[in-house]
Amino acid sequence: MAVQEALEHGLSDPFKDRDGTLMDPGLCIYHCANYGFIFSGLTKGGQCRCGGSTALVTYTKLNDTSSKIVCNLPCVGNSSYTCGGDNGYTIYRETIPMQLKISALQKVFIIQNLKYNKQYNGCFKESPYCNQRMLKGSKKEVISLSVGDCVNFCKNNNYSYAGLEIGTVYT
């Protein structure tokens, strides 16, 4: 489903974290809010879907008894939370949506076409030698990694370049 369709109609295509073991409500909510969606839905224990204001129109909200039967799978990233079920979604609503500097469609276009991203400087092969990192300055590991956070971290530490690797590390 295209992003614009998801913004206007149903839920987006599923999003899974990189290694499949981190998904929980916080990661899903962050991911969806980052693209301007107000609804986050978790299903099958580890899939996250996002939706706009009318996303839930065609879905039925279950009572508490039915919810315990249909939404019964623990989240792969934190088993104390429920991440939907085989045929159900655990839904969250972002009450204070993130303000985007660009539209969600522009953001997706840039992600899919990095040559249009003014900050993107290319993909570089890591050194084959141990402990010979390309960007040897400060290093920070975070679960909810964004390009903007990485650039700001490096800028605040007076570095000219910022780099992302392994999905959760920036240097």
What local confidence, expressed as pLDDT, does residue 72 receive?
Answer: 92
Write down the pTM of the prediction: 0.53
8 A C-beta contact, residue 73 and residue 45: yes
3-state SS of 110-147 is HHHCHHHCCCCCCCCCCCCCCCCCCCCCCCEECCCCCH
Alpha-carbon Rg for the chain in angstroms: 18
d(CA 12, CA 55): 9
What local confidence, expressed as pLDDT, does residue 145 receive?
Answer: 58
CA dihedral over 61, 17, 164, 123, signed as positive or negative: negative
Print burial letters for 82-91: b (CB count within 10 Å at least 16), e (below 16). bbbbeebbbb
8 A C-beta contact, residue 108 and residue 116: no
- Over the chain (171 residues), the average pLDDT of each successive run of 10 is 39 61 85 82 88 79 87 90 89 74 67 60 55 50 63 74 60 46
Residue count of the chain: 171
d(CA 24, CA 77): 5
What local confidence, expressed as pLDDT, does residue 5 receive?
Answer: 37
